[in-house]
Every structure is written in C-alpha cells, then in structure tokens.
Structure 1
Amino acid sequence: MPNPVLLNNIDHKDLRVITRRGAAYGDQLMAVPTFPSEFRDVQACYPIVFHKTTDGLGFEPLALFGFQDGENLFLKDERWDAPYIPMMVERQPFLIGINGTELMLNVDLDHPRVNRSEGEEVFKPHGGTTDYLDRANSLLFAIHEGMQGLPGFLQALLDNALLESFTLDVQLDDGSQNRLIGFYTINEDRLQTLGGDAIVKLHQAGHLQAIYLILASLSNFRMLIDRKNATLA
C-alpha cells in the first residue's frame, strides 16, 4: 500500500530516488491514466483507450502498454523502450497533495524507488531542492493542470454519445487466440454524423483535436501486437 507523506528537507534530507526502469520498481503496468493535454505525446507511442472508473460512474482515458494485467510490452530489463514515458509513470514516487487550495508535494515512502543509499538526491546537502526534485515538481504541476481539463472533455464525449465499447481479437504468431475486452473508444460513425453546431462546440472547447489524437493512437495496436509476438519468439 502507498505511504504518502508531505516531503520536507528535514525528515527526508538524505532521501534518494532510483530512476532506472524495471518491474522491481513498479513499471510492470498494463496501462496508466492520461489526459487531453498529454494525448499528442502519448499517441505517438501507445493506444489511448477508455475504461470505466472503479465506481462505475464515469470513464478514464488510459495509455495502454499491454494486453493483460501486469504486462508492459515496453519494459526491456532496466530500460523503457519508447521515446516518451507517460507522466503518470514518470512522476513516481511523488504525488500531489492538496491542503485546501494549496498543492503540496508528497512522496510515497514505501515505493520501491525510494531509499537512502542510491539514486538521485532529492535535497542538496544544505537543504535546497535539487534539479531532479524541481523537475518532479514541474511534472506534478503539469499533471494537475492536465487533469483539470479532463471532466469537461469526458462530459462532451458523453453528451455527444461518442464513446463505445470495443473488442479486439488477436491471433498471435504462436497460434493462440487472444481477446481484449472491457475498454471503450471513440465511435467514429457517430462522430461523422454530428451536426455542424456540435462539431463547432467541440472544436471551440479544444476537444475535437483530442478526439482525433485518440483515433490516431489506435494504429499503435499493430505495434503492440508486434511487441507481444516478439516476446513469444
């Protein structure tokens, strides 16, 4: 279980963070949440799909890394084999804390990257923040800002009935039949039949570009299948 605490330069003066990649550091992920302002970078490498939130009442966009729980087809030993790593992966082990309207920088002390002997220093010897921590702080702020635009985007998709469930059937090179279920994508037929006013509203709100980036990202399924086949070779 995560153990987030408010980061400070007294209790955590000698804290370090391991930045190399690997399953031992929590990178064996099938998917992570993403948001519209990140779609341009994400769609260059990964399929963007939606799933229902844990409460079953809403939806959440995901960058997809594999076809089953715990499968990350971009993880190669201690290397992430893609030019872009989504922010929700890159931020670890730091989290955003909120105290009223103030954003706070928290760290998960039980995260496998956190230790006091190796990795990037979080604080300088005299208590100042390192460049590494400054980058992490900027990353968390970008995530927070990006998430602010997500509810409006999701509501626009629902208002225009633009989400539909899909099933992806995949036959791998070893002959096995595999099926990806439980995810949603943009209903292209519905998108094509939207009236001019609806399209203008989506465009003016900045949602239309995000929709097309999602559709463009689906071509990455072919690459994901190729990666899966490579693990079986």
Structure 2
Amino acid sequence: MAKFELVNNIAHKNIKVNTKASAQFGDNVWFALTFPDEFRAIQNQYPIFFQKNSETGQFMPVALMGVKQNENLFLTDDGWDGYIPATIKRHPFAIGHQQQNQGGQTELTRVLTIDMESPRVNETQGEALFLEYGGNSDYLDQMADLMEAIHHGVEKSAHFIETLLGYELIEQFTLDVTLNDGSQNQMLGFYTINEDKLAALSDEQTLNLVKLGYLQAIYFIIASHGNIAELVKRKNKLLGL
C-alpha cells in the first residue's frame, strides 16, 4: 500500500530514488495516461487512444505500449527503449495538497509527495533528493517541474476532451492484432477520433479547434495509429516470430 509523505530535507535527507526502468518497479504496464502537451513526443513511438474511467465516466488519453495487460513491449533488460511518458517517469512522486494561510485566508496549495513504500525508494542506490547540506538536488527539482507539467497537462486535457465530446469526435472501436503465428489479440475498451465527423465539421468549428490548439493534437492522435504496426513487430520479435 502506498504511503505518501511530504518531501522534506529532514525526514528524507538520505533518501535516494532508483530510476532504472524495470518490471519490478511496476513499469510493465500496457498503457499510460498522457495529455495533449505531450502528444508530439508520444506520437513518435506509441499509438494514442482514449479510455473511459468506469467509475467517473470521464475519458482520458493514453499511450499504448503493449497488446495485453502487464505487457510493456518497450521495456527491455537494458531499460526503457524509447521515450518514457511523463506519468511513468514521475514515480514515486505525486502531487499532494496542504492547507496554508495566505493573507488571512486558508488555501489548499500543491506540494510534492513521495511514496515511501515504493520499491524505488531507498538509501543506497539512485538519485539523491537532497544535497549534502540540505539543498534540493537537480533531480528533485526536475521531478517537481515534471509534476507541475503533468498537473497542468491533465487540467488542459479535460477541456480538450470536453471539446471533442461536444463535437461528437470520440468513438469506440475494437483493435484486433494478428501475430505471425496466427494468434489474435482483441483489445476492447478503447476510443479514438471519428475521422468522418472531423471532416464534416463546419469552418467555424474547425477554426475553433485551431485557435484552441486542439486540431494539431487531434492530428497527432490520428498519426500515432501508424505505430500499431511497430507494436505488432515488437510483439512478434518477443515471441521469436
């Protein structure tokens, strides 16, 4: 069970984080949450789809890295073969909230927390959080910046998806993958862009997507689907086919 603590240079002065990509650290995931600000980097290697949260009904964009659960075809014995999505790279950190007094009023502010139960957290191997005399290490500052980027990226993503839904541009589909041995893998529960409805948008709607910066994000999603062939290639190689 996760145990998140507010990062501080007293309790965590000797803490290090093992940044090696490994299944033992939970990197054997077949998709990862992403967001429009990251699409440019993601679409170079991974297919981008949407998933629907079964509890909230909210859609979220994800980068696909395998063809079944607990499979990451970019994870090798030497580490991660390619760009590491921000929501994977951020482990074992998360954003927490703390009450602070601002001008006589109590406000919730974002703070950086660390999961002390994570197998990455130790006192002997990896990146130190703090310098010898208490200052932040470059690594810790980078992680704090990364968590801020994720926070704002996910916030922007919510409006992006709201706009797509308003234009009825998200549709469900089933991804069927056939391997060289003839076996089939059917991936359910994914959604993508309805290209017919995208093409049928009015000039005003299309211009609105351009102004918001969303049309480029949509094309990144569509272009990323060419990476499905790379996933199949990696899977066949893994099976020795």
- Identify the residue that residue 139 of structure 2 maps to in structure 1: 132
CA contact (8 A) 1:202 1:208 kept: yes
User: How much does 1:149 deviate?
Assistant: 0.7
CA contact (8 A) 1:170 1:178 kept: yes
- Identify the residue that residue 206 of structure 2 maps to in structure 1: 199
Q: Tell me, in whole angstroms, the C-alpha distance in 2 between the residues paired with 1:131 and 1:40.
A: 25
- Identify the residue that residue 102 of structure 2 maps to in structure 1: none
Residue 191 of structure 2: which of 174, 184, 189 is its match?
184
Residues 52-63 of structure 1 aligned to structure 2 (within 5 Å): 52-63=52-63
Matched, 1:151 2:150: no
CA contact (8 A) 1:174 1:232 kept: no
**How many residues align structurally?**
232
2:171 match: secondary structure: strand
Q: Tell me, in whole angstroms, the C-alpha distance in 2 between the residues paired with 1:158 and 1:204.
A: 17
Q: Give a deviation string over 1:13-72, Cα, whole Å, max 9, x none.
A: 100010111101111111111011111011111000101013142101001111111100
Q: Tell me, in whole angstroms, the C-alpha distance in 2 between the residues paired with 1:178 and 1:150.
A: 29
Q: Tell me, in whole angstroms, the C-alpha distance in 2 between the residues paired with 1:119 and 1:44.
A: 29
2:81 alignment partner AA = D
Matched, 1:81 2:81: yes
Q: Give a deviation string over 1:128-171, Cα, whole Å, max 9, x none.
A: 11111111111111111212211110111100000011112121
Q: Tell me, in whole angstroms, the C-alpha distance in 2 between the residues paired with 1:44 and 1:160.
A: 26
1:205 alignment partner AA = L
Identity, % of aligned positions: 46
- Identify the residue that residue 98 of structure 1 maps to in structure 2: 97
CA contact (8 A) 1:94 1:107 kept: yes
- Identify the residue that residue 16 of structure 1 maps to in structure 2: 16
CA contact (8 A) 1:20 1:78 kept: no
1:14 alignment partner AA = N
**Backbone CA RMSD of aligned residues:** 1.1
User: How much does 1:78 deviate?
Assistant: 3.8
Q: Give a deviation string over 1:97-122, Cα, whole Å, max 9, x none.
A: 12344220100111111011111111
Q: Tell me, in whole angstroms, the C-alpha distance in 2 between the residues paired with 1:182 and 1:54.
A: 10
- Structure 1 stretch displaced more, 183-192 or 1-10: 1-10
Q: Give a deviation string over 1:180-223, Cα, whole Å, max 9, x none.
A: 11100000011011111111111111111110110011100000
TM-score between both structures, scaled by the size of structure 2: 0.93
Matched, 1:39 2:39: yes
Ranges in structure 1 where 5+ consecutive residues have no aligned partner: none
Residues 214-225 of structure 1 aligned to structure 2 (within 5 Å): 214-225=221-232
Residue 114 of structure 2: which of 107, 113, 116 is its match?
107
- Identify the residue that residue 50 of structure 2 maps to in structure 1: 50
CA contact (8 A) 1:33 1:63 kept: yes
Q: Tell me, in whole angstroms, the C-alpha distance in 1 between the residues paired with 2:163 and 2:221.
A: 15
